[in-house]
Amino acid sequence: MRAVRIAGGVIIALVLVLIAGISATIGWRPFLGPKARPLTNRRFDRTPDRLTRGKYLVEDVVGCFDCHGDHDWTKHDAPLIEGTRGVAPLEFMLKGLPGRVVPSNISSDPETGAGAWSDDQLARAIREGIGHDGRALFPFMSYPDYRYMSDEDLAAVVVYLRSLPPVRKELPSTEINFPVKYLMRSAPQPVESVAPPDLSSPIKRGEYLVTVSGCADCHTPQRRGQHIPGLEFAGGFVLEGPWGYCASANITPDASGISYYDETLFLQAMGTGFVKARQLNQIMPWWHYRNMTDEDLKAIFAYVRTFKPVRHRVDNAEPPTDCRLCGFKHGAGNQN
């Protein structure tokens, strides 16, 4: 009996240690489900101004159809294939994802798309990362960036998405591997309201646009889904898919980045996909940024020029080698 009591005490102690360890590290959210605010019956007025603004944001700024659409990756401008606006291929074709990630059908089809979703279901998915069915969305859906989108811009996006023609296409469900399927439940966060952005200067306007466009998601290398501190916007994050093998560029104003850019060269790159004679890989979505207004593009460049310079050489013209700084294989690796 004494041995049983000792064994029972050891088990209780181990359970208490496990509870304390979970509480002190990842927390209990992965086991409880994502944080989600209750849905409301709000409905966004369909105004011409919102429709125009929403089209601009969806197609030219945040690039919803980059993922919720099928593209011809054999062409330099990766054109959207006719009839796929709002509907992705069967799964996202980026290598290295922890499972199968399938962007939802966000066309207005009521059975296979978002036609039967409420305005608040769409809004909560976009800005808070909670799917219409209550699940946590994989954060490749850029809700960590969209949570900074103003209430009015969010309304405009929803109004425009409501205008998409229905595309009937049943898609398989997203299936994320263990343990990521549980850990990602901590990513969604309720958002009640976001004030209009401060657009009083080009730099402030650019900061808002860079944030909601998710520029950091590709241009900052990540480790286990988290940006590597000290390498903000320094490139090297590898994106491999039907467009080939490409490491994102260092866009800081360091000599190893884009210190040689001026506003004219930046506008050329965003407008043509070329930096002088060098062709950008089409996974860099210049093909939708080219339709942004000059005012917004110039504001983005003004903000980019304020980034802290980071020495990190990335050159897709060179053979990939291990990089000591970011941990990825890319040209000009093996850096000190």
CATH architecture for residues 202-330:
Orthogonal Bundle (1.10)
What's the one-letter identity of residue 2? R
DSSP state at residue 80: B
Provide the pLDDT for residue 219.
Answer: 98
- 88 Cβ partners below 8 Å, 6+ apart? 67, 68, 69, 70, 102, 103, 105, 171
- Model confidence at 97, pLDDT cuts 50, 70, 90, reads confident
Paired sense of beta strands 226-227 and 222-223, if any:
antiparallel
**Arithmetic mean of pLDDT, 83-95:** 83
Confidence band for 94, pLDDT divided at 50, 70 and 90: confident
At 205, the pLDDT band (50, 70, 90 cuts) reads very high
The rounded distance, in Å, linking the Cα atoms of 129 and 87 is 18
Q: If you average pLDDT over residues 128-132, what whole number do you get?
A: 97
Q: Is the pLDDT of residue 14 over 80?
A: no
- Give strand ranges (E) for the chain: 99-100, 175-176, 222-223, 226-227, 238-241, 244-247, 274-275, 278-279, 321-322, 329-330
Token pair for 208: 């808002």
Could you read off the pLDDT of 243-265 as tens digits, one per residue? Answer: 999 999 999 999 999 999 999 99
Looking at residue 181, its pLDDT comes to: 92
Overall fold of domain 48-186: Cytochrome Bc1 Complex; Chain D, domain 2 (1.10.760)
Residues 6+ apart with CB under 8 A from 56: none
Query: Taking all residues of the chain, what is their mean pLDDT, rounded to a whole number?
Result: 91
Q: Does residue 291 have a pLDDT over 70?
A: yes
106 vs 188: CA distance, rounded Å: 19
Beta-bridge partners for 80: 71
Task: Quote the tokens at residue 121.
Answer: 């279901």
- What does the pLDDT look like over 166-180, one tens digit per residue? 999 999 999 999 999
Q: Where are the alpha helices (DSSP H) in 142-201?
A: 143-146, 151-162, 180-183
Is residue 23 scored above 60 in pLDDT? no
pLDDT at 295 exceeding the cut of 70: yes
Query: Could you report the per-residue pLDDT of 301-329, keeping only the tens digit for each?
Result: 999 999 999 999 999 999 999 999 999 99
What pLDDT digit, counting tens, does each position of 28-58 carry?
446 678 999 999 999 999 999 999 999 999 9
Query: Which is nearest to 243 in space by CA: 283, 274, 289, 275?
Result: 283
Residue 336 has a pLDDT of 58
> Above 70 in pLDDT, residue 130?
yes
In DSSP terms, which residues pair with 330 in a beta bridge? 321
Question: Phi first, then psi: what are they for 44, rounded to 5°?
Answer: -85, 130
Q: What is the pLDDT of residue 30?
A: 65
Does residue 20 have a pLDDT over 50? no
Is 141 in a helix, a strand, or coil?
coil
Find out whether 104 and 143 touch, Cβ atoms under 8 Å: no
Q: How confident is the model at residue 88 (pLDDT cuts 50, 70, 90)?
A: confident
pTM of the model: 0.90
